[in-house]
């Protein structure tokens, strides 16, 4: 998968050199480009923001640097033109990347959405700051390909970088080969619509707290039943809203 990020804080993403995603980049499973929006300004102050039309607090990000930056990434791909020489396999992935703008006004990011995005060959993330990005940037690129506004959750951040980091981790680890043991991807919270069961390791007693005996029994059917019951009990108690949702089978 190719991932491009546009931001005024490129060093924020240095952490993507580390751990699983760092290894995935070394092995070529993930190709990452981080672009400084200020490199796409024309004035000596490298200005990326201006006052909002219609008044109001704060500043808005100017459209021109975004146009220049995204065009350079998209190679100004013509809108929806089928490549002349080859029959498109499925239209979905022929005409360029999906552009994702994190926004508190976006669709809620979910595990199902992470799975969907993990199938994409190329994702471009646009990190806004200040009060946000001039709306015409979204409107312009929405005529040239898939543009999605996605929210991490119902709370306010100062910019898109933290949300992009979370999305790249959630999507990146679903790319085949990134996580060593794919089995561990199956038994996770939200993967089957339930919260995960509690986990334990040695010692079998810590500060007077024992490990649940069933886990030491070797009786795999009893262990699986106990874990399932723990998932249901925890989900009922902490996230009853999840029980209202149709349970997704991991394959879906």
Q: Which residues bind ligand JD8 (CB under 6 A)?
A: 102-104, 128-129, 131-132, 151-153, 155-160, 163
Distance (Å, whole) CA 41 – CA 207: 59
| DSSP-based helix, strand, coil % in the chain, nearest 5 | 35, 15, 45
Nearest approach in angstroms of CB 147 to ligand JD8 is 14
Of 151, 123, 148, give the one whose Cα is nearest residue 6.
Answer: 123
Least Å from the CB of residue 1 to ligand JD8: 20
Strands 209-210 and 205-206, sheet pairing = antiparallel
- 97 versus 128: smaller Cβ distance to ligand JD8: 128
Antiparallel, parallel or unpaired: β 146-151 and 98-108: parallel
> Please, what is the minimum distance in Å from the beta carbon of residue 150 to ligand JD8?
6
Q: Pick the closer one to ligand JD8 by CB: 65 or 132.
A: 132
Cβ-based nearer residue to ligand JD8, 128 or 193 = 128
> Judged by CB, which is closer to ligand JD8: 127, or 194?
127
CB of 83: closest distance to ligand JD8 in angstroms? 32
Of the pair 47, 94, the CB lying nearest ligand JD8 is at: 47
Q: Which one, 158 or 199, has the nearer CB to ligand JD8?
A: 158
Q: Minimal distance in Å, beta carbon 85 to ligand JD8?
A: 38
- Say what angle helices 161-172 and 111-118 make with each other, to 10 degrees: 70
**Which C-beta is closer to ligand JD8: that of 96 or that of 132?**
132
> Which residues are within 8 A (CB) of 97 and not within 5 positions of it... i.e. 6 or more apart?
2, 4, 73, 74, 120, 121, 122, 123, 124, 145, 146
User: Least Å distance between CB 183 and ligand JD8?
Assistant: 31
Q: What gap in Å lies between CA 190 and CA 176, rounded to an integer?
A: 19
Strand, helix or coil for residue 108? strand
Provide the sign of the torsion angle of the four alpha carbons 144, 6, 100, 29, taken in this order.
positive
CB neighbour burial string for 16-50, b if at least 16 within 10 angstroms, e if fewer: beeeebeebbeeebbebebbbbeebbeeeeeebbe
Task: For the CB of residue 240, give the shortest distance to ligand JD8 in the complex, in Å.
Answer: 23
């Amino acid at each position: 998968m190719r991932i491009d990020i546009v931001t005024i804080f490129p060093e924020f993403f240095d952490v993507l050199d580390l751990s699983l995603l760092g290894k995935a980049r070394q092995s070529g499973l993930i190709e990452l480009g981080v672009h400084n929006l200020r490199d796409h300004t024309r004035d000596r102050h490298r200005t990326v923001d201006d006052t909002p039309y219609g008044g109001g607090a704060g500043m808005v990000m100017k459209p021109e640097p975004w146009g220049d930056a995204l065009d350079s990434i998209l190679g100004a791909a013509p809108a929806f033109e089928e490549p002349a020489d080859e029959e498109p396999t499925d239209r979905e992935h022929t005409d360029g990347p999906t552009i994702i703008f994190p926004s508190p006004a976006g669709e809620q990011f979910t595990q199902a959405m992470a799975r969907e995005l993990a199938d994409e060959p190329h994702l471009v993330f646009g990190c806004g700051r200040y009060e946000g990005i001039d709306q015409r940037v979204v409107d312009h690129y929405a005529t040239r390909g898939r543009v999605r506004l996605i929210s991490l959750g119902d709370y306010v951040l100062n910019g898109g970088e933290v949300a992009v980091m979370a999305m790249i981790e959630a999507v990146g680890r679903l790319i085949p080969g990134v996580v060593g043991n794919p089995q561990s991807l199956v038994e996770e919270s939200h993967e089957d619509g339930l919260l995960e069961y509690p986990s334990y390791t040695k010692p079998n007693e810590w500060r007077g707290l024992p490990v649940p005996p069933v886990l030491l029994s070797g009786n795999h059917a009893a262990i699986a039943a106990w874990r399932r019951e723990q998932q249901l009990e925890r989900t009922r108690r902490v996230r009853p809203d999840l029980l209202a949702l149709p349970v997704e089978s991991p394959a879906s």
